[in-house]
C-alpha cells in the first residue's frame, strides 16, 4: 500500500463523514429560514417538500410549507384543502400549509392590496411598465408577509424548474431595473402615466412607494444569498434528462449566489425479485446514481426508493419522510398504510 493511497483514503473518509446522505444537516441548522425545493416536473418535489416539512416539524417550533406552483398540489398530497392563508395540517400542532400564486394576475395582488389598505392597484399598473416588477413585487411581498408571521422555518414547494429560476432571479434583475427607474426623471414618467395613477398620488408618493418596494426586494435578495438563512434542495430522478437538468439548475443557482447543500435522488428502483423490468430499470438508474456520486461528492445526496403506491396522506408521507433522515435499507421494504388495505 503506497503512502499516497493511504492519504487519499483518509481524506475520502473524512469527506464522506462531512456529507452524510440525509437531510439531517438541514434539521440541525438553527439559522435556516427558507428552504426551496425544486426540480423537473413530476420528479417528486411536492412529496419531498411535504416530507422535509414533516421532519422539520419534529424539531422546530413551527413550520410553514408554501406551494408557489400554480398547479397547487399540497392539498392533494395531504388530502386536505389549503388556501392562501396558513392552515394547520391535520394531526400536527405546528405544521402549516398555504398555497399562493406568485403570478400577480391571480391571488397575490389582492393579498398585497389588503396589506397596503388599497390604492396600490393604480401604482401596480404603473409599475407594470418595468418588466418583471409585478411578479417580483408579489413574490417579495409574500415573503415579507410570511416573514412577519414568525414561523421557525418556511419550505417552498416550487413550480417546475424554469419558472422557479425565473422567479428567483427576478430580485437581482429588478434591483437593477428599479435603480434605473429611480434614476430617470420621475415627473416625466409621472405625466406619461398620470391617467393611470390619478391625481391622488404625487410623484413623491410614487417615489416613496418605489423606494419601499426596492427595500423589500433588497431584503429578500440579501436573505436569498445568505447560506445560513436560505438553501435550495434540488430533487431529481436517476435518468439522463433529470441529471442534466439538475446540473444546469445547480449552476444557475450558483450564479444567483444561492446555497445548495442537499440533493434528493427520488424514485430509485430496488428490485425485490427476479422481475426483468425492475432489474433493467435498476441497472439503468445505477449508471446515473454512480455519476451523481462522482459529481456531487460535496453534497448531501439522499437516495429515496420508488414505493409501490403513491405517497399521499399524512401516514404515508410520514413513513416516507423518515427515509430522509435514516438511509433506506432495501432489505427492509417500506410498507405504506394504503398497501395494507
Torsion of CA 66, 72, 74, 76, to 10 degrees: 170
Compute the distance between CA of residue 5 and CA of residue 164 in angstroms, rounded to an integer: 43
Min dist. Cβ of residue 274 to ligand ATP (A): 21
Our finding on whether 43 is near ligand ATP (CB under 6 A) is yes
Q: Which of 51, 55, 164, 267 is in the footprint of ligand ATP by CB under 6 A?
A: 267
Q: Which of 26, 32, 43, 46 is in the footprint of Mg ion by CB under 5 A?
A: 46
Compute the distance between CA of residue 239 and CA of residue 249 in angstroms, rounded to an integer: 15
Half-sphere exposure in the Cβ direction for 207 (13 Å, CA): 12
Copy the grid coordinates of residue 214: 426596492
Nearer to Zn ion among residue 215 and residue 279 (C-beta)? 279
Q: Which residues are annotated as a binding site?
A: 40-47, 239, 266, 275, 278
Min dist. Cβ of residue 19 to Mg ion (A): 27
Our finding on whether 252 is near Mg ion (CB under 5 A) is no
Q: Which residues contact 77 (CB under 8 A, 6 or more apart)?
A: 46, 47, 50, 311, 312, 317
Copy the grid coordinates of residue 44: 417528486
Closest CA to 139 of 79, 59, 54, 224: 224
Nearer to Zn ion among residue 179 and residue 275 (C-beta)? 275
Hey, how many other C-beta atoms are within 10 angstroms of the C-beta on 112? 20
Nearer to Mg ion among residue 97 and residue 213 (C-beta)? 97
Nearer to Mg ion among residue 44 and residue 109 (C-beta)? 44
Min dist. Cβ of residue 156 to ligand ATP (A): 12
Q: Which residues are annotated as a binding site for ATP?
A: 40-47, 239, 266
Name the residue with the smallest CB distance to Mg ion. Answer: 46
Hey, how many other C-beta atoms are within 10 angstroms of the C-beta on 247? 16
Min dist. Cβ of residue 273 to ligand ATP (A): 18
Q: Are strands 95-99 and 87-88 parallel, antiparallel or unpaired?
A: antiparallel
262 binds, among Mg ion, Zn ion, ligand ATP, none (CB under 5 to 8 A by kind): none
Query: What are the angstrom distances between the C-alpha of 326 and each of 39, 132, 310, 323?
Result: 23, 42, 21, 5
Phi, psi of 69 (to 5 degrees): -90, 120
297 binds, among Zn ion, Mg ion, ligand ATP, none (CB under 5 to 8 A by kind): none
Our finding on whether 160 is near ligand ATP (CB under 6 A) is yes
Nearer to ligand ATP among residue 190 and residue 270 (C-beta)? 270
Min dist. Cβ of residue 58 to ligand ATP (A): 20
Residues 266-295 close enough to bind Zn ion by CB under 5 A: 275, 277-278
42 binds, among ligand ATP, Zn ion, Mg ion, none (CB under 5 to 8 A by kind): ligand ATP
Listed ranges 124-132, 164-172, 222-230, 307-315: which one lies at the site for ligand ATP (CB under 6 A): 307-315
DSSP code, position 23: S
- Compose the 55-84 pattern: x for residues touching Mg ion by CB under 5 A, - for all others: ------------------x-----------
Instruction: From the candidates 69, 107, 134, 157, give the one annotated as an active-site residue.
Output: 69
DSSP E strands, the chain = 34-38, 63-67, 87-88, 95-99, 153-157, 230-236, 262-268, 300-305
Nearer to ligand ATP among residue 267 and residue 302 (C-beta)? 267
Q: Which residues contact 133 (CB under 8 A, 6 or more apart)?
A: 127, 174, 177, 178, 213
Catalytic residue at 69?
A: yes
Catalytic residues: 69
The contact set with Mg ion (CB under 5 A) reads 45-46, 73
Binding site for ligand ATP (CB under 6 A): 41-47, 69, 73, 160, 266-267, 304, 306-307, 310-312
Amino acid at each position: 500500500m503506497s503512502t499516497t493511497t493511504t492519504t487519499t483514503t483518509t481524506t475520502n473518509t473524512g469527506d464522506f463523514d462531512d456529507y452524510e446522505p440525509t437531510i439531517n444537516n438541514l434539521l440541525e441548522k438553527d439559522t435556516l429560514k427558507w428552504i426551496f425545493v425544486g426540480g423537473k416536473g413530476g420528479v417528486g418535489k411536492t412529496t419531498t417538500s411535504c416530507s422535509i416539512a414533516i421532519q422539520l416539524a419534529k424539531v422546530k417550533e413551527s413550520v410553514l410549507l408554501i406551494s408557489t406552483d400554480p398547479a397547487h398540489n399540497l392539498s392533494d398530497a395531504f388530502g386536505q384543502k389549503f388556501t392562501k392563508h396558513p392552515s394547520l395540517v391535520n394531526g400536527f400542532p405546528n405544521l402549516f400549509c398555504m398555497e399562493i400564486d406568485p403570478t400577480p394576475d391571480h391571488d397575490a395582488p389582492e393579498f398585497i392590496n389588503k396589506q397596503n389598505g388599497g390604492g396600490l392597484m393604480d401604482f401596480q399598473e404603473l409599475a407594470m411598465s418595468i418588466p418583471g416588477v409585478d411578479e417580483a413585487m408579489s413574490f417579495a411581498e409574500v415573503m415579507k408577509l410570511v416573514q412577519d408571521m414568525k414561523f421557525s422555518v418556511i419550505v417552498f414547494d416550487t413550480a417546475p424548474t424554469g419558472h422557479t429560476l425565473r422567479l428567483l432571479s427576478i430580485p437581482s434583475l429588478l434591483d437593477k431595473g428599479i435603480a434605473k427607474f429611480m434614476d430617470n426623471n420621475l415627473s416625466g414618467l409621472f405625466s406619461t402615466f398620470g391617467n393611470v395613477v390619478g391625481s391622488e398620488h404625487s410623484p413623491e408618493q410614487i417615489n416613496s412607494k418605489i423606494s419601499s418596494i426596492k427595500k423589500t426586494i433588497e431584503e429578500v435578495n440579501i436573505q436569498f444569498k445568505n447560506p445560513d438563512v436560505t438553501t435550495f434542495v434540488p430533487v431529481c430522478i436517476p435518468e439522463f434528462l433529470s441529471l442534466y437538468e439538475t446540473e444546469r439548475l445547480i449552476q444557475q443557482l450558483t450564479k444567483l449566489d444561492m446555497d445548495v447543500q442537499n440533493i434528493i435522488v427520488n424514485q430509485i428502483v430496488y428490485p425485490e425479485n427476479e422481475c426483468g423490468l425492475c432489474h433493467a430499470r435498476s441497472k439503468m438508474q445505477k449508471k446515473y446514481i454512480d455519476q451523481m456520486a462522482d459529481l456531487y461528492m460535496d453534497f448531501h445526496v439522499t437516495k429515496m426508493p420508488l414505493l409501490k403506491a403513491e405517497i399521499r396522506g399524512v401516514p404515508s408521507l410520514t413513513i416516507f419522510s423518515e427515509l430522509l433522515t435514516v438511509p433506506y435499507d432495501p432489505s427492509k421494504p417500506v410498507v405504506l398504510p394504503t398497501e395494507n388495505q
